[in-house]
């Protein structure tokens, strides 16, 4: 069979699995991951390893649009409205998650490269899952007002921490001598170049709308810009996630009618994200699960502990009400797309002995977080008295 057949098989498998997971009220992303595991080379082998390797263009494209959608959350008017409190809380909960995960896994004696990368991946959350819960239960109040900007901003922190940590891990693997330039300055220059080029593309995209006035043409220009951004990042050795995030952030702040266009792009990218999660699930090597059992449990617990402690301390420093300090950490438990995307990037940037282990831990943790996380977020909103449906 040709590639199109297997793409269709992956999509149908993901769609059918949502019918089953809906019976127990699990999110769709969990259904897609389970479907991928079942049809992948380690269970039914309906989609083999060689076929999966040909799907790399789909995963790269999906990563670009995931980052582009994160950029939509960085409107200046929204940032001004929430003030410094949300930014400080984001810094606390993200950095504490990174530090706790990295420190605890190192103390438990796991490989330093794996510990550093898992620490970097622990910062991100799942804004889509959180937003869905807020909308479903019509949540409103101080906890909800703080939660939405924080889950958007900590993905940005996660992308930056990943860029720094992957350079550090590559240096450790190559046994190169520690240098400030190699570990800090070079990654920061790469981050700055990615953000700058993404911002430039965002400006060009907004200007192009003056000449393409139909809605469909403008949507096509957005899609093409994201694909150009992914291609340039790969060619220049930059971060496609940071580049596309900056592209989206600059675009939504320059073009007034961006929300209408982005809502249509969300519909266009739904099948793409479906495929991304199914492919990610298919890449889950079940034979490595016994080896990462303890590491996976430690990662899940350490990440949550860091998120909860950081959110509580950040809320205390910024003088937030008790409902925010006590419940925000629980609502930050979900983790999905961005973490999976960065784990997928690690497959290209690190040797297989490390990257496959990292990806297996993240995918396994995602299955847990996508089952327990939404329930924890709903419970936090209920304790805060902000559920109105």
- List, in sequence order, the alpha helices (H) in 138-185: 142-174, 180
According to DSSP H, which parts of 1-111 are helical?
3-21, 28-39, 49-53, 56-71, 76-107
pLDDT of 143: 87
**Hey, which CATH number is domain 3-383, 1.20.1530.20, 1.10.1370.40, 2.60.120.200, 3.40.50.1580?**
1.20.1530.20
Question: Which SS3 state, helix, strand or coil, does residue 284 take?
Answer: coil
Interatomic CA distance for residues 91 and 61, integer angstroms: 29
pLDDT in the model for residue 310: 93
> With a cut of 50, which residues of the chain have pLDDT below it?
none
> Which residues, other chains included, contact 81 with Cβ-Cβ below 8 Å and sequence gap of 6+?
none
Question: What pLDDT was estimated at residue 182?
Answer: 64
- 358 φ, ψ to 5°? -60, -45
Shortest CA distance to 223 belongs to which of 263, 268, 167? Answer: 268
For residues 246 and 233, the answer to whether their CB atoms sit within 8 Å is: no
Confidence (pLDDT) at 178: 64
CA distance 16 to 29: 13
Sign (positive/negative) of CA torsion 380, 373, 347, 111? positive
Question: In three state form, how does the secondary structure of 292-343 look?
Answer: HHHHHHHHHHHHHHHHHHHHHHHHHHCCCCHHHHHHHHHHCCCCCHHHHHHH
Closest CA to 336 of 263, 273, 290: 273
Q: How far apart are CA 68 and CA 201, in angstroms?
A: 12
Domain ranges of the chain: 3-383
Picking from 238, 208, 186, the residue whose alpha carbon sits closest to that of residue 67 is 238
Buried b (16+ CB within 10 A) or exposed e, 81-94: ebeebbbebbebbb
Q: What is the pLDDT of residue 102?
A: 94
SS3 207: helix
């Amino acid at each position: 069979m040709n590639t199109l057949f297997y793409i269709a098989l992956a999509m149908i498998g993901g769609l059918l699995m949502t019918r089953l997971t809906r019976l127990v009220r699990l999110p769709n992303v969990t259904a897609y991951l389970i479907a991928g595991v079942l049809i992948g080379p380690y269970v039914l082998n309906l989609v083999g390893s060689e076929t999966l390797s040909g799907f790399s263009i789909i995963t790269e494209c999906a990563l670009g649009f995931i980052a582009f959608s994160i950029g939509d959350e960085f409107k200046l008017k929204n940032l001004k409205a929430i003030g410094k409190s949300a930014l400080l809380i984001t810094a606390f909960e993200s950095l504490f998650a990174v530090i706790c995960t990295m420190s605890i896994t190192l103390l438990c004696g796991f490989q330093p490269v794996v510990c550093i990368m898992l620490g970097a991946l622990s910062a991100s959350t799942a804004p889509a899952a959180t937003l869905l819960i807020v909308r479903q239960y019509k949540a409103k109040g101080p906890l909800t007002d703080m939660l939405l900007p924080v889950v958007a901003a900590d993905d940005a922190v996660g992308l930056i921490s990943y860029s720094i940590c992957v350079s550090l891990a590559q240096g450790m693997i190559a046994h190169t001598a520690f240098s400030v330039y190699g570990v800090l300055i070079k990654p920061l220059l790469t981050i700055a170049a990615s953000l700058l080029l993404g911002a430039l593309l965002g400006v060009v995209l907004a200007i192009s709308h003056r000449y393409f006035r139909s809605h469909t043409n403008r949507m096509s220009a957005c899609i093409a810009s994201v694909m150009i951004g992914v291609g340039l990042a790969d060619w220049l050795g930059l971060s496609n996630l940071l580049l596309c995030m900056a592209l989206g952030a600059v675009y939504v702040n320059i073009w007034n009618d961006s929300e209408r266009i982005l809502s249509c792009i969300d519909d266009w990218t739904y099948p793409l994200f479906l495929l991304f999660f199914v492919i990610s699930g298919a890449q889950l090597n079940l034979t490595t699960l016994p080896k990462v059992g303890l590491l996976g449990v430690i990662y899940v617990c350490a990440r949550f502990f860091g998120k909860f402690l950081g959110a509580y301390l950040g809320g205390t420093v910024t003088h937030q009400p008790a409902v925010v300090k006590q419940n925000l950490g629980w609502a930050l438990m979900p983790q999905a797309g961005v973490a999976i995307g960065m784990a997928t990037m690690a497959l290209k940037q690190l040797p297989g002995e490390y990257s496959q282990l990292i990806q297996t831990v993240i995918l396994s943790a995602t299955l847990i977080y996508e089952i327990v996380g939404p329930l924890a977020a709903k419970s936090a909103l209920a304790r805060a008295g902000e559920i109105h449906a």
